[in-house]
Amino acid sequence: MATLKLLFFASHGGSNMQAIIDAIREGRLDARACAVISNNSGSGAIERAMNEGIPHFHISVKTHPNPRDLDEAIMDIIDRYRIDTICLAGYMKKLSPEIIRYVNGRVLNIHPALLPKFGGHEMYGIKVHEAVLASGETVSGASIHLVDEVYDHGKILAQREVPVMPGDTADTLATRVLEVEHVIYAETLQKIAMGEIVI
Ligand code: GRF
């Protein structure tokens, strides 16, 4: 059993990141939220990090136009906070293979559907839920997976189903899936901390 040292990457609201921080505070997750990186300086994730007193960094192609410099800035943060696990939580950029290797592949992501269905490049946000509804699926859900070089492709670590209800819109489905996301991300991390899931 080891206290996970987490680095978050988030581009927008950061509600999944917040759910993990809350789980740590409430003693449901043995981890430390060490730092937050966002490519969007005005993101809710940065605001949440400020409110929580968590070190936060704006790193993007604007701050680091050279990809090598960008990776080095991320690696500096990994070193500085002795990060052992990266959590992508609504991060709209791809991490380089170098960064993934730098943390021995310990990079997790959450996706608002039952992968491998409804994943891949351009399958994000409300588009995922629109695609689920258009396909006539009766069940959607959330997936936690390891990150590799292909979008939404790495090993699936956990999934939870969410039924599609008659009359659901993409927004109502997204809201119910998000509630489940907030539960399974922290639960999966705790299984990693406990050694029940080995990554
Ligand atoms: C979530 O639906 C997550 O599955 C996806 O992006 C969304 C992020 O939401 N990868 P939030 O920023 O955590 O509120």
3-state SS string for 47-106: HHHHHHCCCEEECCCCCCCCHHHHHHHHHHHHHHCCCCEEEECCCCCCCCHHHHHHCCCC
| 24-52 per-residue burial string, b: 16 or more CB within 10 A, e: under 16 | beeeebbbbbbbbbbbbeebbbbebbeeb
Is the distance from CB of 124 to CB of 115 less than 8 angstroms?
no
At residue 120, what is the residue type?
A: G
Question: How many angstroms separate the CA atoms of 67 and 108, rounded?
Answer: 22
pLDDT attached to residue 108: 98
Output the pTM of the full model. 0.97
15 lines ligand 1 (CB under 6 A): yes
Taking residue 116's Cβ as centre, other Cβ atoms within 10 Å add up to: 13
Q: Residue 31, SS3? A: strand
Q: Closest ligand 1 atom, CA of 174? A: 2
Q: How many helices (H) and strands (E) does the chain have?
A: 6, 7
Measured from the CB, is residue 152 less than 6 Å from ligand 1?
no
Residue 109: phi, psi to the nearest 5? -135, 155
CA 195 to centroid of ligand 1, rounded, Å: 26
Give me Rg for the CA atoms of the chain. 16
* Separation between Cα atoms, residue 196 and residue 190, nearest integer Å: 8
Q: Is the dihedral of CA 89, 176, 188, 153 positive or negative?
A: negative
Q: Which amino acid is it at 122?
A: E
User: Catalytic positions, please?
Assistant: 111
> Would you state the pLDDT for residue 2?
84
The finding on whether 10 has its CB within 6 A of some atom of ligand 1 is yes
Residue pLDDT tens, the chain, 199 long: 689 999 999 999 999 999 999 999 999 999 999 999 999 999 999 999 999 999 999 999 999 999 999 999 999 999 999 999 999 999 999 999 999 999 999 999 999 999 999 999 899 999 999 999 999 999 999 999 999 988 888 999 999 999 999 999 999 999 999 999 999 999 999 999 999 999 9
Q: Which residues pair with 61 in a beta bridge?
A: none
- The pLDDT assigned to 68 comes to 98
Query: What separation in angstroms does the CA of 10 have from each of 1, 16, 90, 106?
Result: 27, 9, 5, 16
